[in-house]
């Protein structure tokens, strides 16, 4: 596939996998995906498995991501994980503002923006998630919602930082439901996101930002989704928990 932006496919394991299970999966992924060069492949295990997974993918083409981090550095922040702690395990990416955290931990756009700035300051690439709920889509306010989330969650970042940021469009109604946005629906919102980015930081920056789609991505819909001009990868939940599910998505996207 001939795109100006390299595809990036990340597995978000959410709150799943013991250390032993994580090691099994990533060892097999490493073997199965050893030849893949056209796609950046990232796995995002829970914090507890970062160290083991990090060792298991040493000198491979698989990169490591975390699922969240603190907006603060080291200090008295009980229960939090600082960017510097992630760097100890060669983490390169961090998912921020996932809809589950927005919903259950009440994360706001302003907080996500602080976390994104802290991630960039530590040379971590944030994967910033945005997306509308079913109610918002049915009320025909998808664009307003996504634009507000984008502007708020990227507030204060420089154009250079925005360019390095990965965005993930994850319609909440498509997460874990088996309902995927059609490739046309995904493309429409991705193009809109790029338009908003362009108005915030200019065309060149907007053209360089990679925008993943997330929400019930499976082997059988990956190719069509990745084939859309503004879809630059996937953030995969459920299907990334199994070897075949994830490797087939990667292979079908190339
Ligand atoms: P599913 O692929 O399970 O729908 O989850 C998507 C997601 O939330 C990835 O971050």
Of 150, 152, 114, 127, give the one whose Cα is nearest residue 210: 127
Q: Residue 224 in contact with residue 183, Cβ under 8 Å?
A: yes
235 in contact with ligand 1, CB cutoff 6 A: yes
Average of per-residue pLDDT across 5-20:
98
Q: Which residues contact 219 (CB under 8 A, 6 or more apart)?
A: 239, 244, 245, 248, 249, 252
Q: Is 120 a catalytic residue?
A: no
Model confidence at 1: pLDDT above 50: no
Q: Residue 219 in contact with residue 236, Cβ under 8 Å?
A: no
Average of per-residue pLDDT across 210-227:
97
Q: Which residue puts its alpha carbon closest to atom 7 of ligand 1? A: 237
In a domain, 2, yes or no: no
* Whole-prediction pTM: 0.98
Beta bridge partners of 205: none
Q: Residue 214 in contact with residue 168, Cβ under 8 Å?
A: yes
Q: Residue 42 in contact with residue 9, Cβ under 8 Å?
A: yes
Ligand 1, residues 11, 99, 171, 237: which to mutate, most atoms within 8 A of Cβ?
237
Beta bridge partners of 129: 168
pLDDT exceeding 90 applies to what percent of the chain?
A: 97
SS3 56: helix
Catalytic-role residue among 71, 107, 132, 170: 170
In a domain, 1, yes or no: no
Q: What is the mean pLDDT of the chain?
A: 97
pLDDT value of residue 179: 86
The residue segments making up the domain with residue 29 are 7-253
- The pair phi, psi for residue 130, each rounded to 5°, is -140, 160
Ligand 1, residues 14, 93, 221, 248: which to mutate, most atoms within 8 A of Cβ?
14
Convert the pLDDT of each residue in 31-67 to its tens digit: 999 999 999 999 999 999 999 999 999 999 999 999 9
Rounded to an integer, what distance in angstroms lies between the CA atom of residue 125 and that of residue 123? Answer: 6
Average of per-residue pLDDT across 1-20:
92
89 C-alpha to center of ligand 1: Å?
A: 24
Query: Which ligand 1 atom sits closest to the C-alpha of 100?
Result: 8
H-assigned helices in the chain: 19-32, 50-56, 83-87, 99-104, 109-121, 134-138, 142-153, 159-164, 183-201, 203-208, 219-226, 243-253
Work out how many domains the chain is built from and give that number.
Answer: 1
247 in contact with ligand 1, CB cutoff 6 A: no
Ligand 1, residues 132, 186, 238, 246: which to mutate, most atoms within 8 A of Cβ?
238
Integer angstrom CA distances of residue 17 from 56, 198, 231, 235, 245: 15, 39, 28, 18, 16
Query: Which ligand 1 atom sits closest to the C-alpha of 217?
Result: 2
pLDDT value of residue 96: 99
Query: Which ligand 1 atom sits closest to the C-alpha of 239?
Result: 2
236 in contact with ligand 1, CB cutoff 6 A: yes
96 in contact with ligand 1, CB cutoff 6 A: no
Q: Is 147 a catalytic residue?
A: no
Return the higher-pLDDT residue of 178 and 84. 84
DSSP 74-112: SSS-TT---HHHHHTTT--EEEES-HHHHHHS---HHHH
CATH number at residue 59: 3.20.20.70
Q: Residue 195 in contact with residue 150, Cβ under 8 Å?
A: no
In a domain, 202, yes or no: yes
pLDDT exceeding 70 applies to what percent of the chain?
A: 99
Model confidence at 180: pLDDT above 90: no
In a domain, 135, yes or no: yes
Model confidence at 15: pLDDT above 80: yes
- The pair phi, psi for residue 128, each rounded to 5°, is -95, 125
In a domain, 170, yes or no: yes
Q: Residue 67 in contact with residue 44, Cβ under 8 Å?
A: yes
Let me know how long the chain is: 254
Convert the pLDDT of each residue in 63-85 to its tens digit: 999 999 999 999 999 999 999 99
């Amino acid at each position: 596939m001939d795109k100006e932006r390299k595809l990036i496919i990340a597995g978000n394991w959410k709150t799943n996998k013991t250390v032993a299970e994580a090691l099994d999966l990533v060892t097999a992924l490493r073997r199965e995906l050893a030849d893949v060069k056209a796609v950046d492949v990232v796995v995002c295990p829970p914090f507890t498995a970062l160290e083991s997974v990090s060792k298991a993918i040493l000198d491979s083409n698989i990169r490591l991501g975390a699922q969240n981090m603190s907006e603060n550095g080291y200090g008295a922040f009980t229960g939090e994980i600082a960017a510097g702690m992630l760097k100890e395990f060669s983490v390169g990416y961090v998912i921020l503002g996932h809809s589950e955290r927005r919903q259950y931990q009440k994360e706001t756009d302003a907080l996500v923006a602080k976390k994104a700035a802290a991630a960039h300051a530590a040379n971590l690439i944030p994967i910033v998630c945005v997306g509308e709920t079913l109610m918002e889509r049915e009320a025909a306010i998808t664009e307003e919602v996504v634009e507000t989330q984008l502007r708020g969650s990227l507030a204060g970042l420089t154009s250079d930082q925005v360019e390095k940021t990965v965005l993930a469009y994850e319609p909440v109604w498509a997460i874990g439901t088996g309902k995927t946005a059609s490739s046309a629906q995904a493309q429409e919102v991705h193009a809109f996101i790029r338009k908003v980015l362009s108005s915030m930081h200019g065309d060149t920056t907007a053209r360089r930002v990679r925008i993943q789609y997330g929400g019930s991505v499976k082997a059988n819909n990956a190719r069509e989704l990745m084939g859309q001009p503004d879809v630059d990868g996937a953030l995969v939940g459920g299907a990334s928990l199994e070897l075949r599910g994830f490797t087939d998505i990667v292979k079908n996207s190339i």
